[in-house]
Amino acid sequence: MKNGVRHFLLALQFFTRVPVTGPLAEWVGFSPQMLRASAAHLPGIGWLAGCVAALVFAGVAMGLPGVGGALAAAVLSTVATVMLTGAFHEDGLADVADGLGGSASRERALEIMKDSRIGAFGTVALVLALGLKCALLAVLAGRGLETVAVAIVGAHVLSRLMPLFLIRWLPYVGDSGASKAKPLADAISRGALAIAVVWTVPAVALLLHVYGAVNVGAAVLAAALAAGWMARLFLRRLQGFTGDGLGATQQVCELAIYLALAWHA
């Protein structure tokens, strides 16, 4: 249990901007093995991000009624998660779009993805992804605040489970010398994957309580298909995955979940 708490706090430190400093950081400690184990708690970080986003959405929507208010709530809830995570996953989406869109060559694509500057493909991908996310949340808000709040929490948790399957099934092809995510990408054990699933089960149960089995089944299937498509894309173009690829997969899966839930709304 103590190691589990340490691994969660390390995940909190790595995947968010929540400060884990001072004596607490000393108690948590650090090693590549611990960082690898912390990947099991990525859906737990989704609980934090999802709850923050849902609270912001609800707070704004209660003060700004109508479609315009729902759109404003969607934008501000997205701002909240971006600030919380430091745009960790959005940065991955932009880098992947720049790399795969900027060159057909595997080597050149990997080189572009390491460049901290954002290009045309990355900019377009971010604008379209964030715009679609806000539009889908506004659609879901038409069914009530509980409906959209549960969708936000469920999507943040479930979408953070999906990249872990890429770690399990695909080889890592990033720059092992420069990537901070390399220990995360080395491997993920069945036990760690099971812990991640345990984090996810209550979120699925929450979705079932509000949406029902058919809608939630469609959302889970959409997330799985999105993750499978991303895995196939990375395997074909890069012969494996990178840390940016994991972030991009989370973003695509989150959008797939919102789309499935909104489609059946």
Give the chain's mean pLDDT: 92
**The pLDDT value given to residue 83:** 96
pLDDT band, residue 28 (cuts 50/70/90)? confident
Cα separation, 9 vs 121, in Å, equals: 34
172 phi and psi, to 5 degrees? -85, 130
If one compares 42 and 35, the residue with the highest pLDDT of the two is: 42
Domain boundaries defined on the chain: 2-263
**The pLDDT value given to residue 185:** 62
* Percentage of the chain lying above the pLDDT 70 cut: 94
- Give the 3-state secondary structure of the chain: CHHHHHHHHHHHHHHCCCCCCHHHHHHHCCCHHHHHHHHHHHHHHHHHHHHHHHHHHHHHHHHCCHHHHHHHHHHHHHHHHHHHHCCHHHHHHHHHHHHHHHCCCHHHHHHHHHCCCCCHHHHHHHHHHHHHHHHHHHHHHCCCHHHHHHHHHHHHHHHHHHHHHHHHHCCECCCCCCCCCHHHHHCCCHHHHHHHHHHHHHHHHHHHHHHCHHHHHHHHHHHHHHHHHHHHHHHHHHCCECHHHHHHHHHHHHHHHHHHHHHCC
**The pLDDT value given to residue 165:** 95
Average pLDDT of the segment spanning 41-45: 96
What dihedral do alpha carbons 122, 136, 79, 100 form, nearest 10°?
-10
Give me the residue label for tokens 């390399």: 182
For the stretch 132-162, pLDDT in tens is 999 999 999 999 999 999 999 999 999 999 9
Cβ(102)–Cβ(121) under 8 Å?
Answer: yes
**The pLDDT value given to residue 3:** 83
pLDDT band, residue 230 (cuts 50/70/90)? very high
Average pLDDT of the segment spanning 233-260: 96
- For residue 87, what are the contacts with CB-CB under 8 A and spacing of at least 6? none
